[in-house]
């Protein structure tokens, strides 16, 4: 074992700036032996905790467990950031190999009868232990984690649950890798004539994508940052259809990368897992610790939003179909037509042309806006760092406040074939105070079309702010125990900070200051800014229907008996909702990574909307003061939400910030749907 540890940069002391991983020294071949050593160390430490002859105490059980996986956390922090953002065949192979091994390790821990006995003894004696509130919360969550992982099961039930969880880990990895393979392999070459009618920024993105793919011509890929603007602007209906159908067909193309059988097996095993633990459905199991608590409450929220959104979308569909017919095209509006005619309508009704707007929304300008808002709200300062990172496209900043180091923030913003689609926030190291003041290393990953310069759509700029809201939740965390640090909160609470931060992009003074033309440096014209903000709820019927339909399918998959044919179940749910013909789910089942690549958002895709109910109300707290940067409100936001992590139940934290829980009306108003109720 010592031989495998010697010279392995993942296992040695990181004598680097801010203790960052030594990315320049790490090779793919280092990961497998590092995992082996780290797992062995973790197992040995857990065995020592479980077999400790001394009476259980919070320190020798819970705090010891908190520090038992130091090496494993470091290896996982590096490896899983890389597999998502910069995958290689070697990394994918090891990811597949490690999925069942890490699942088996997790099951060993929660199935350890001696270890759970010590935790249970603490739980039963909790009122006499003199615990601080944060310690009491951590003990509660540890016990809940063990119980929900099967610690109360014995014999055949415990053994079967371990098998189920191991298989689910394998299936989730396969699902993700299949989706990435489909996204990576499909391209649609464009002849010079096919570029007619496309704005310069779309042409530049297509040419850059062609270069990245090693082609000598422009291409459309399945990266959202390329395919969405192509669907918005290409007058070639045949090419729009071809690109759109490839986009929605990801994970359902037959052959080795088809995800449909994986989904069916995943749903069966999730149901079995829930029933082994005594729940009637996986949705009941998954929602129990969340704010929503029950499937019925989730459905109630979604349906309250669905009906006004559908009415709005159907009205918009009629307008767009009339525009289609005016172009001499017979037949109904199709899904590959919606964005094209909606963009034309936006130009006609709001005089907003994305090709004219984007030069004012360069990535550099929006990064400046994003950081400036954090400075004004929380006193944070951002200094660029010149340090080795895992890819040349990445950038890093030191985050400071009042002369004190707060965090390292890494931004990885450009689309590439080795990166999975979407945008996300992760950490390489989480904040905690136990065992020394550990400051976080936080990563934001996006998929913007790389250009010189990189110009964003307004939706892209929202994504930038959204992911940075997650980053703030990580960076401003101020707890003792890593188990409740940062975004370690209820799934339907975790999107509150991210969605709330988007609101500052809509503050006029922010865009007045930062939305400047990348060539001239001139501010966005006042009239353009007014029109941009006035169009803030444009096409929200479409966006809301896209989202809610996906959330309803996710809920239906997990609430009842696992469907033998998930695609048939999807069709039945959409039919029962009266899904508008020209709109598809935002995430069709074979590429619904939120719900199927792991347990994260399974039975929980609704979480974005649950959090949106709160984010609309939370920003209103600033608006009520007359100052979107009101210092007292920002201080309360940091104290009760951003710094608190999972130290208390989410509803308690939010109520402390705002005084009460909100209703759905702020959400409907924010989406421009209130008038249709």
Find residue 397's DSSP bridge partners.
384, 409
Cα distance between residue 188 and residue 281, in whole Å: 42
Angle at 497 between CA 381 and CA 639, to 5 degrees: 70
> Which residue blocks in 389-525 are alpha helix, DSSP H?
458-475, 495-502, 508-514
Judge whether 286 and 602 are in contact, CB under 8 Å: yes
Cα distance between residue 579 and residue 581, in whole Å: 6
* Residue 648 annotated in active site: no
Q: Classify residue 523 by burial, with Cβ atoms within 10 Å: 0-12, 13-18, 19+.
A: middle
Cα distance between residue 643 and residue 291, in whole Å: 19
Quick one: which H or E segment has residue 425?
A: strand 424-429
Cα distance between residue 622 and residue 634, in whole Å: 8
CB contact set of 411 (below 8 Å; sequence gap of 6+): 367, 394, 395, 396, 397, 443, 444, 446
> 453: cis peptide before it, omega within 30°?
yes
Judge whether 472 and 374 are in contact, CB under 8 Å: yes
Q: What's the gap between Cα 337 and its chain centre?
A: 28
Judge whether 409 and 399 are in contact, CB under 8 Å: yes
Which residue in 216, 124, 9, 173 sits closest to 599, CA to CA? 173
Angle at 132 between CA 130 and CA 137, to 5 degrees: 110
CB contact set of 504 (below 8 Å; sequence gap of 6+): 373, 377, 465, 510, 628
Judge whether 304 and 571 are in contact, CB under 8 Å: no
Judge whether 32 and 10 are in contact, CB under 8 Å: no
Q: Could you tell me the sign of the dihedral formed by the alpha carbons of 448, 490, 250, 86, in that order?
A: positive
Which residue in 620, 631, 607 sits closest to 659, CA to CA? 620
Cα distance between residue 592 and residue 175, in whole Å: 9
CA distance readout (Å), 359 to 215, 364, 393, 500, 517: 27, 11, 21, 25, 5
**Catalytic pick from 63, 66, 69, 467?**
467
DSSP state letter for 401: E
Judge whether 472 and 497 are in contact, CB under 8 Å: yes
Q: Could you tell me the sign of the dihedral formed by the alpha carbons of 163, 164, 166, 170, in that order?
A: positive
Cβ-based neighbour number of residue 261 at 10 Å = 12
Find residue 391's DSSP bridge partners.
none
Which residue in 485, 512, 590 sits closest to 77, CA to CA? 485
Which segments of 42-163 are extended strands (E)? none
Give one word for 621, left, alpha or beta, with left for phi > 0 and alpha for psi -120 to 50.
alpha
Angle between helices 260-276 and 540-559 (to 10 degrees): 60
Cα distance between residue 161 and residue 153, in whole Å: 9
Q: Classify residue 524 by burial, with Cβ atoms within 10 Å: 0-12, 13-18, 19+.
A: buried
Q: Classify residue 237 by burial, with Cβ atoms within 10 Å: 0-12, 13-18, 19+.
A: middle
Q: Which residues are catalytic?
A: 467
């Amino acid at each position: 074992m010592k031989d495998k540890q010697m010279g392995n940069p993942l296992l040695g002391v990181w004598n680097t700036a801010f203790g960052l991983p030594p990315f320049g020294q790490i090779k793919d071949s280092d990961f497998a032996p590092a995992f082996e050593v780290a797992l062995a160390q973790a197992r040995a430490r857990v065995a020592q905790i479980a077999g400790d002859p001394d009476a259980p105490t919070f320190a020798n059980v819970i705090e010891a467990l908190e520090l038992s996986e130091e090496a494993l956390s470091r290896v996982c922090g590096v490896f899983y950031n890389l597999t998502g953002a910069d995958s290689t065949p070697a990394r994918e192979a090891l990811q597949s190999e490690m999925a069942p091994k890490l699942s088996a390790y997790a099951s060993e821990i929660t199935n350890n009868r001696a270890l759970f006995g010590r935790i249970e003894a603490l739980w039963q004696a909790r009122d006499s232990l003199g615990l601080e509130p944060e310690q009491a919360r951590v003990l509660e969550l540890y016990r809940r984690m063990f119980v929900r992982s099967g610690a109360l099961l014995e014999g055949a039930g415990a053994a079967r649950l371990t098998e189920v969880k191991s298989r689910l880990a394998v299936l989730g990895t396969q699902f993700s890798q299949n989706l990435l393979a489909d996204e990576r392999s499909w391209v649609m070459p464009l002849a010079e004539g096919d570029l007619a009618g496309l704005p310069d920024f779309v042409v530049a993105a297509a040419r850059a994508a062609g270069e990245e793919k090693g082609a000598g011509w422009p291409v459309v890929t399945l990266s959202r940052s390329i395919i969405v603007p192509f669907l918005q602007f290409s007058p070639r209906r045949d090419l729009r259809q071809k690109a759109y159908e490839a986009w929605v067909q990801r994970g359902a193309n037959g052959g080795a990368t088809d995800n449909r059988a994986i989904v069916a097996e995943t749903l069966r095993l999730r149901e079995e897992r829930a029933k082994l633990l005594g729940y009637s459905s996986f949705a009941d199991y998954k929602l129990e610790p969340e704010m929503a608590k029950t499937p019925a409450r989730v459905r109630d929220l979604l349906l309250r939003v669905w009906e006004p959104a559908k009415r709005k979308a159907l009205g918009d569909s009629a307008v767009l179909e009339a525009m289609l017919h005016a172009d001499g095209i017979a037949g109904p509006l199709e899904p590959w037509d919606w964005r094209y005619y909606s963009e034309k309508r936006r130009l006609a009704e709001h005089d907003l042309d994305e090709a004219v707007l984007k030069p004012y929304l360069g990535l550099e300008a929006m990064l400046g806006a994003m950081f400036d808002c954090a400075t004004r709200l929380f006193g944070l300062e951002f200094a660029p760092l010149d340090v080795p990172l895992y890819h040349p496209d990445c950038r890093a900043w030191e985050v400071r406040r009042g002369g004190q180091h707060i965090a390292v923030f890494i931004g990885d913003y450009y689309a590439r074939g080795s990166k999975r689609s979407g945008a996300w926030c992760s950490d390489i190291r989480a904040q905690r105070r136990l065992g020394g003041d550990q400051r976080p290393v936080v990563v934001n990953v996006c998929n913007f079309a790389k250009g010189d310069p990189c110009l964003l759509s307004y939706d892209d700029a929202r994504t930038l702010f959204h992911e940075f809201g997650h980053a703030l939740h990580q960076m401003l965390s101020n707890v003792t125990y890593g188990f409740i640090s940062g975004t370690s909160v209820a799934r339907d609470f975790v999107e509150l900070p991210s969605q709330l931060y988007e609101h500052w992009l809509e503050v006029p003074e922010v865009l007045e200051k930062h939305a400047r033309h990348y060539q001239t440096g001139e501010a966005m014209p006042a009239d353009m800014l007014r029109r941009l903000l006035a169009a803030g709820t444009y096409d929200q019927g479409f966006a809301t229907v896209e989202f809610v339909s996906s959330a309803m399918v996710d809920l239906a998959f997990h609430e009842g008996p696992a469907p033998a044919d998930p695609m048939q179940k999807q069709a039945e749910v959409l039919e029962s909702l009266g899904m508008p013909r020209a709109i598809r789910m935002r995430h069709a089942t074979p590429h619904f990574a939120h719900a199927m690549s792991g347990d994260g958002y399974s039975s929980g895709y609704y979480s974005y909307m649950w959090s949106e109910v709160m984010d609309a109300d939370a920003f209103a707290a600033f608006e009520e003061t007359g100052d979107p940067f009101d210092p007292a409100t920002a201080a309360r936001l940091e104290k009760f939400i951003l710094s608190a992590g999972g130290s208390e139940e989410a509803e308690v934290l939010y109520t402390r910030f705002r005084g009460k829980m909100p209703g759905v009306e702020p959400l409907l108003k924010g989406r421009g749907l209130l008038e249709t109720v």
